[in-house]
Chain A
Amino acid sequence: MLQINNLHANVGDKPILKGLTLSLNAGEIHAVMGPNGAGKSTLGYVLSGRPGYEVTEGSVTFNGQDLLALEPHERAAAGLFLGFQYPVEIPGVSNVQFLREALNAQRKYRGEAPLTGGEFLKVAREQAGALGMDMEMLKRPVNVGFSGGEKKRNEMVQMGIIDPALAILDETDSGLDIDALRTVGDGINRIMRKPDKAVLLITHYQRLLDYVKPDFVHVLDGGRITRTGGAELALELERDGYKELAA
């Protein structure tokens, strides 16, 4: 589904990704772990096409398509979803309005008919319900006044509504208490654990992986993948730390 080959990227003039290679097949969940400043968020941004993140070398194909040639909204329409480490506030725009417009923009891009207000609300209600989010919250402006945990939960509701093929989830677990962690973990499994979908789970800690069992664990350090293993690698990292591993 996703092939990242020898990816080099700069933020401003600073090289951050330095030859990253990684492949995800449909049906797989990959965890990417690594120390602060390793370039994990940068990877998510580069894959989603954030302006200011410049690819200097390498290639990325997504379902056979040259991902890097697409605009951010085109990548979204092609089925890529980025769960933000720091979800953004948009004052005056309700979650419902935001998501309906976003979803219908994606559908339009793909040549599908737009969802009516009623159809959209039905989907939104289901997803919010499954993630234990009050419908009233969906009517509030996007992320405005939401707690850290509510913002992350909201990212998952968005993912459920948009129903992407590939989700890159950037530290979705940070800021969640233990109950919320379970809800979010269940959500990821429910929405994304499917034969035709894949997840790139960026995380700092192993605890989310108790709920979402990864098929592969990668260590990202110094802008490239330094080690790859199964779920047990995460436990090893938790025990020994990245320093130990690097040594």
Chain B
Amino acid sequence: MTDDIEIKDKAAWDAAEKVADYEHGWSSDIETDFAPKGLNEDTVRFISAKKNEPEWMLEWRLKAFAMWKTMEAPDWAKLNVPPIDYQDAYYYAAPKAKPKLNSLEEVDPEILRVYEKLGIPIAEQKLLAGVEGGEDGGLPQRRVAVDAVFDSVSVATTFRAELERAGVIFRSISEAIKEYPDLVRKYLGKIVPMHDNYFATLNCAVFSDGTFVYIPEGVRCPMELSTYFRINAENTGQFERTLIVADKGSYVSYLEGCTAPMRDENQLHAAVVELVALDDAEIKYSTVQNWYPGDAEGKGGIYNFVTKRALCQGRNSKVSWTQVETGSAVTWKYPSCVLNGENSVGEFYSVAVTNNHQQADTGTKMIHNGKGSRSTIVSKGISAGHSNNTYRGLVRVAPNAEGVRNFTQCDSLLLGSLSGAHTVPYIEVRNPSAQIEHEATTSKISDDQMFYAMARGLNAEEAVALIVNGFAKEVLQQLPMEFAVEAQKLLGISLEGSVG
């Protein structure tokens, strides 16, 4: 106990020192950039100034902040979240800015260590860290462009040249705000409006960084785009902002993966992801989320309040969300599709694993406004330990949307007898031509299956991992190969200690 208090005091002291550092104005030559602890208008101004944002962006943030102050946190989810002290957190932390580097040795070893843990090959690490010559240094075969978000700021963006040749814009959102202000302004906050919900509004005010992608008309993005998120500084809330625009007839597959190191204190993560697909465009958005879930007793862990929404604006447009959610103490997340375009398609494939004291309330909304729009929802919830796992889904069909179809499959798998699985489907159909199908199952891993697998040589944990992967297969096979393997391992790891 005493140790805890001492550490806390030290953190406060360090923070106070940093605040003192900043008193001569928040110029960009400060090596370590922390916004002072707490949240007020100055925090918002600090973040905006730190990023040299144009005036319109600052105004937008301030407007959001004023709005947020009048709002209350939602409480409708099946989650038990202690009140969050928004003043007891940092809202901005940037890694040390270094201009040009000649070799990996010049990169902050701490940053490299994180890359290594993430399993990023050396050549790619060079690219990430912005090492000169990294780009032609015998690049690995894997065709994934990585935009690493280290803490809150993109350290580097890779594969830029090749993408640029294809006309694809793949930038940190801070860069995009400066380089492509018209494009950003056209869509930012248009899919998830500023007032959408408490956490989205907060994100508008204090978003630190994130990714911007634009795929021009008729272009098939030549590689998978990927962002690694990672919370690294203690007490730093993470407010990522992602905007992907797929112009007519374009295609892009985007991967988002998260890992987080062990932390004792709860950290808030409130990301906003906005996707827009125009006529005949397709976006495939895949997530593997394994933020720190807290320890076996339920201490610590990330609070993950995410707003993800796609606008299928064009006819025949398609957005497919695939998520594997294994981390976070609390997950509150409903990647959704607003299907405005005629014959547009929305898909949601989800695996959510909760163990120990984790809580997940996740699902999707399929809003059918377009004629002939179709959606598919496949949700696989796996609960172990004392955890609670809720699927919450809305299928809405507007009065003039003829010929809509939806298929929903919700399966829950329980491990042990102390965990909970809940399915909360909302179906609002205002057009009689709609065909809506909903199937739900709840099952347990049977003793027969366990013994069969063990009699063939698998230990209890391997047997559970195998059976769970089988259960989640329909979703896992939607992931790009590279992610699927990682995700399979992750399912097993997340359930460690849940048997035997």
Contact = CB atoms under 8 A, between A and B. Distances in A.
Interface stretch (B191-199, B280-288, B366-374, B464-472): B464-472
B454 A71 contact: yes
B457 interface: yes
A48 B467 contact: no
B455 A103 contact: no
Interface in A93-146: 93, 97-99, 101-103, 105-106, 109, 141
A162 B456 contact: yes
B451 A76 contact: no
Contacts of A158: 456
A92 B471 contact: yes
Interface in B446-500: 446-449, 451-460, 462-463, 466-467, 469-474
B455 A82 contact: yes
Interface residues of A, number: 33
A15 interface: no
A209 B455 CA distance: 25
Contacts, number: 81
B473 A92 contact: yes
Contact of B472 (A81, A88, A92): A92
Contacts of B453: 90, 98, 102
A241 interface: no
Contacts of A141: 470
Given A88-B452, A90-B449, A102 B457 contact: yes
B474 A72 contact: no
A202 interface: no
Max chain B C-beta neighbours (<10 A), residue from A52, A89, A92, A141: A92
Q: Looking at A48, A71, A105, A158, which has the most chain B CB atoms within 10 Å of its CB?
A: A105
Interface residues of B, number: 24
Interface in A75-89: 75-77, 81-82, 84, 87-89
Nearest to A48: B455
Contact of A101 (B455, B458, B471, B472): B458
Interface string B416-460: 000000000000000000000000000000111101111111111
A109 B457 CA distance: 9
Nearest to B472: A92
Nearest to A102: B456
B454 A90 contact: no
B35 to A, nearest CB: 47
Nearest to A75: B455
Contacts of A98: 453, 456, 466
Contacts of A213: none
Contacts of B447: 51-52
A93 B454 contact: no
Contacts of B457: 73, 76-77, 102-103, 105-106, 109, 162
B454 A73 contact: yes
B466 A71 contact: no
9 nearest A-B residue pairs (beta carbon): A92-B470, A93-B470, A92-B473, A102-B456, A106-B457, A88-B452, A76-B457, A72-B454, A102-B457
27 contacts: A48-B451, A50-B451, A52-B447, A71-B454, A72-B451, A73-B459, A73-B463, A76-B454, A76-B455, A76-B457, A82-B455, A84-B452, A84-B455, A88-B446, A88-B449, A88-B452, A90-B470, A92-B472, A93-B466, A98-B453, A99-B456, A101-B466, A102-B456, A102-B457, A103-B457, A141-B470, A162-B457
Given A73-B455, A73-B457, A92-B472, 8 more contacts: A52-B447, A81-B455, A91-B471, A93-B466, A93-B469, A93-B473, A98-B456, A102-B457
